[in-house]
C-alpha cells in the first residue's frame, strides 16, 4: 500500500456518520490552526518581553522596532531599484528616522525631514559655489540653515537643514549628483516609512488608555471599600495617621488622572490618518476605536470627579481624626455610613468592568447579567441604602449620643459626596453615561482566512481516492 493509501485509510470516516464526522473534523482543524498560531504569537511576545520588558507598552515597542527594521530593508531595496545607486544608504536612514509611534507622527516627521533636506540642499547649491568651502563660509551657511529651519518650524528635524547643507558643500563636488541623490533617497525613505507604519499593523493606542482607566477605577473602588470597612468596625477609631494616609492616597490619584489624559491624547493622535479607525481583521465584529475613544474620554471625566469626591470623604475623616469635627461619630451611624461606602465602592468596581467591555449590554459569561445591568442594580441598591440612612439621620439625629451640629455636618458632606459618585457612574441618567454606552461596530469587517473551501476540496479528493482504492 502506498503512503497516500495509508494516510487515507487512517483518516477514513467511520461508516454511518459521515456528515457528523466531517463537521467535527472541520471544527477540530480550525481550532488546531488557531491554537498553533496563538501559541506561536505568545512565544514571540514572550521573547520580546525578555528583551524590552513586559506590558502592553513593551508589546507596542516590539512591533514598532520590527516595522522600523522592515521599513529600512524595503527602503534599501526600492532605493536601489529606483535610483540605480549600488548603496542607497540615505533611503533606509530616512525610513529609520521617520517611523514613529503613530501614523500622524510618522507623516509629520517624514514631511519635515524632506522639507529640511530640500532646504539644506538648496542653500548649499545657492551659496556654496559662490562662497567656496572654508571655515567662514561654512559657519555662515550653517547659521543661515539653522535660522531657516527654525523659521520653517521643522521641530526635531530643524538640524536636517544644516546637516544637508554641510554634506552637500563638503562632498557635493567630489560625488557628482550627490545633492539630487540625497533629496530622492530621503523622499523615498520617508515615503516607505509612512506606508509601512500605515499598512503593517498600524498602531492604535485606545485600548491601552482604556485599560489604564479601568485599572485606576478599580483602585478607587478598593480605596472606598477600605474606608467603608474602617467605618464598619465596632471600635471605630479615627487615628490621625490613618486618616491622613487615606487622604494622601486619594489625592495621589490626581497625578494618575493627568497620566491617563496624556494616554488619551496619544490614543486620539493614533487614530489620525489610521485605516484601523473603523476597519478590523478579526474573527468577530468589534467596536470602532474612534467610538471607544469617545467612551474613554467620558469615563476620564467621571474618574476625575470621583477622585475629587473620594478626596472629600477622606478629608472629612481626617477632620474627625484631628478633632476638628466637634465629636466622634456614633458607632451605629458610622457602621451604616461604612456599609453605604462599601456598597458604592463595589458599584465603582462593577463600573470599571463595564468600561472595558466592548458591549456593556452583552453578558460576559453564560447565565450572567450584562455589566451594564449589574451596574444599574448596584446603583439602585446603594441609593436605597443612602436614602434609608438620610431618613434615619433626619428622624434621630438629635438622639444619638455624642452628636453635635459640627459632626453631623461632616456626616452630611460624606453622604453628599457618595451621592455624587453614584451620579458619575450612573449609566442611565448620569452626566457621563456615554462611558458605558453601546459602542457601534466598525463600518468594514474583514475575516481572517480559514481556508475552509480548500480543506473541503482536499477531503473530497481524499474520499474519491479511498473509494477508488
User: What's the CA gap between 334 and 243, in Å, rounded?
Assistant: 15
**What pLDDT shows up at residue 57?**
46
| 220 close to 348: Cβ distance less than 8 angstroms | yes
The per-residue DSSP string of 424-455 comes to HH-TTTSTTGGGGSPPPBPSEEEPPP--HHHH
* Res 53: pLDDT: 47
Q: Around Cβ 43, how many Cβ atoms within 10 Å?
A: 10
Domain ranges of the chain: 58-199, 206-446
- Judge residue 66's burial from the number of C-beta atoms within 10 Å of its C-beta, 0-12 exposed, 13-18 middle, 19 or more buried: middle
Contact 230, 287 (CB under 8 A): no
Kindly give the residue spans of alpha helices, DSSP state H, lying in 271-367: 289-321, 331-355
| Vertex 58: Cα angle to 56 and 62 (nearest 5) | 115
Could you list the pLDDT tens digit for every one of the 469 residues in the chain? 333 343 333 333 434 444 444 444 544 455 556 566 556 655 655 555 455 444 444 556 788 898 999 999 999 999 888 888 788 888 998 999 888 888 888 888 899 999 999 999 999 888 877 888 888 888 898 899 999 988 988 888 888 898 888 888 888 777 778 888 888 899 999 999 999 988 888 888 888 889 999 999 999 999 999 988 888 875 666 677 777 888 888 899 999 999 999 999 988 888 888 877 655 444 445 677 888 888 999 999 999 999 999 999 888 888 776 665 544 566 777 888 889 999 999 999 999 999 988 888 888 778 888 888 999 999 999 999 988 888 877 776 555 544 555 567 778 888 999 999 999 999 988 888 888 887 665 554 444 444 456 567 777 877 777 776 5
Q: Which three cell numbers stand for residue 114?
A: 524632506
pLDDT of res. 220: 94
- The answer, as to whether pTM is greater than 0.85, is no
Q: How far apart are CA 175 and CA 173, in angstroms?
A: 6
Query: Considering the domain 206-446, what is its CATH architecture?
Result: Up-down Bundle (1.20)
Transcribe 88-151 into DSSP letters. Answer: -THHHHHHHHH--SSHHHHHHHHHHHHHHHHHHHHHIIIIIHHH-SSHHHHHHHHHHHHHHHHH
Cell of 402: 455624642
In 3D space, the residue among 169, 158, 168 whose CA is nearest the CA of residue 113 turns out to be 158
> Can you tell me the distance from the alpha carbon of 158 to that of 156, in angstroms, rounded to the nearest whole number?
6
Amino acid at each position: 500500500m502506498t503512503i497516500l493509501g495509508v494516510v487515507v485509510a487512517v483518516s477514513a470516516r467511520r461508516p454511518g456518520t459521515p456528515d457528523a464526522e466531517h463537521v467535527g473534523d472541520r471544527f477540530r482543524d480550525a481550532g488546531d490552526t488557531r491554537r498553533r498560531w496563538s501559541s506561536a504569537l505568545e512565544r514571540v511576545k514572550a521573547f520580546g518581553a525578555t528583551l524590552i520588558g513586559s506590558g502592553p507598552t513593551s508589546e507596542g515597542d516590539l512591533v514598532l522596532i520590527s516595522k522600523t527594521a522592515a521599513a529600512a530593508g524595503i527602503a534599501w531595496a526600492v532605493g536601489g531599484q529606483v535610483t540605480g545607486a549600488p548603496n542607497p544608504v540615505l533611503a533606509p536612514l530616512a525610513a529609520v528616522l521617520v517611523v514613529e509611534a503613530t501614523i500622524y507622527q510618522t507623516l509629520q516627521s517624514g514631511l519635515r525631514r524632506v522639507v529640511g533636506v530640500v532646504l539644506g540642499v538648496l542653500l548649499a547649491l545657492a551659496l556654496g559655489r559662490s562662497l567656496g568651502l572654508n571655515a567662514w563660509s561654512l559657519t555662515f551657511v550653517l547659521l543661515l540653515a539653522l535660522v531657516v529651519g527654525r523659521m520653517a518650524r521643522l521641530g526635531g528635524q530643524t538640524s536636517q537643514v544644516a546637516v544637508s547643507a554641510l554634506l552637500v558643500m563638503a562632498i557635493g563636488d567630489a560625488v557628482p549628483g550627490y545633492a539630487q541623490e540625497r533629496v530622492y533617497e530621503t523622499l523615498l525613505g520617508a515615503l516607505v516609512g509612512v506606508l509601512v507604519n500605515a499598512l503593517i499593523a498600524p498602531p492604535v493606542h485606545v485600548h491601552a488608555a482604556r485599560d489604564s482607566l479601568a485599572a485606576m477605577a478599580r483602585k478607587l473602588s478598593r480605596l472606598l471599600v477600605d474606608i467603608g470597612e474602617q467605618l464598619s468596625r465596632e471600635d471605630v477609631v479615627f487615628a490621625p495617621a490613618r486618616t491622613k494616609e487615606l487622604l494622601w492616597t486619594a489625592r495621589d490619584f490626581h497625578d494618575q488622572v493627568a497620566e491617563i489624559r496624556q494616554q488619551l491624547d496619544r490614543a486620539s493622535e493614533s487614530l489620525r490618518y489610521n485605516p484601523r479607525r473603523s476597519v478590523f481583521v478579526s474573527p468577530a465584529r468589534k467596536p470602532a476605536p474612534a467610538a471607544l475613544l469617545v467612551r474613554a474620554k467620558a469615563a476620564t471625566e467621571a474618574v476625575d470627579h470621583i477622585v475629587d469626591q473620594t478626596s472629600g470623604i477622606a478629608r472629612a475623616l481626617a477632620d474627625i481624626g484631628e478633632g476638628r469635627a466637634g465629636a466622634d461619630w456614633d458607632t451605629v451611624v458610622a457602621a451604616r455610613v461604612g456599609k453605604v461606602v462599601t456598597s458604592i465602592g463595589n458599584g465603582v468596581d462593577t463600573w470599571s468592568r463595564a468600561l472595558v467591555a466592548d458591549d456593556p449590554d452583552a453578558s460576559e459569561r453564560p447565565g450572567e447579567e450584562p455589566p451594564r445591568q449589574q451596574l444599574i442594580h448596584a446603583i439602585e441598591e446603594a441609593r436605597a441604602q443612602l436614602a434609608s440612612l438620610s431618613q434615619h439621620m433626619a428622624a434621630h439625629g438629635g438622639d444619638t449620643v455624642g452628636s453635635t451640629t459640627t459632626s453631623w455636618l461632616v456626616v452630611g458632606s460624606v453622604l453628599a459626596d457618595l451621592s455624587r459618585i453614584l451620579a458619575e457612574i450612573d449609566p442611565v441618567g448620569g452626566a457621563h453615561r456615554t462611558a458605558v454606552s453601546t459602542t457601534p461596530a466598525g463600518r468594514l469587517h474583514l475575516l481572517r482566512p480559514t481556508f475552509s473551501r480548500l480543506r473541503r476540496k482536499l477531503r473530497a479528493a481524499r474520499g474519491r481516492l479511498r473509494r477508488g482504492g
